[in-house]
Amino acid sequence: MAGHGARLARSLAWTACLLLAGTGAARAESAYEDGLPALESHAGRVVLVHFWATWCDPCTRELPSLVAFHREAYPALREKGLTLLTVSNDVRESDLRDFLREHELPFPVYFDPYAKLRDRLAILGVPGTAILGRDGRVVDRLFGEQDWQSPALRERFENHVEE
């Protein structure tokens, strides 16, 4: 059991480095608790919490679309009160680390190998997204691979930020 605790401590330390390293301001602005996003720090905002993993083919297939959403649609939605957080449910931090070395992602990536946050938000698998309203409660969920650039999905997000 002591080995498990030391491994977890290393993972959490690595997660902190991951969040604070990199180029985008978004990486440094997100608070975290025990390696996970502190959702309470985003009170008053609509928060998309997207769960994925490097071993998940639908997850990696949709990443280019999510990156395009972040680049094109997200800036205007962020101004209206939307926050995007992504959480990897990879089991081994080395898999995530290797993936991120090869694919620079412009948004924060948190590491949750035990899927604690995913379970707490009742997301059944990956890829999956919980949408939290301004009061911090889950108001919507997306299951499976998404086309993050679709007008219907953008309208869905617009509706949530306007509530």
Q: In terms of Cα–Cα distance, which of 28, 51, 22, 24 is closest to 41? A: 28
Q: How confident is the model at residue 30 (pLDDT cuts 50, 70, 90)?
A: very low
- CATH number of the domain enclosing 37: 3.40.30.10
pLDDT at 15 over 70: no
**Average pLDDT of span 93-108:** 90
Residue 117 belongs to domain spanning: 2-162
Count of the separate structural domains present in the chain: 1
Q: Assess contact for 52 and 59: CB atoms under 8 A.
A: yes
Query: What is residue 118's three-state secondary structure?
Result: helix
pLDDT value, residue 150: 96
Nearest CA among 136, 117, 132, 102 for reference residue 52: 117
> Does residue 138 contact residue 131 with C-beta atoms inside 8 Å?
yes
113-145 tens-digit pLDDT: 999 999 999 999 999 999 999 999 999 999 999
Mean pLDDT of the chain: 82
Q: Closest by alpha carbon to 63, among 95, 102, 14?
A: 102
* Segment 93-98 mean pLDDT: 90
Specify the higher pLDDT residue, 6 or 42.
42
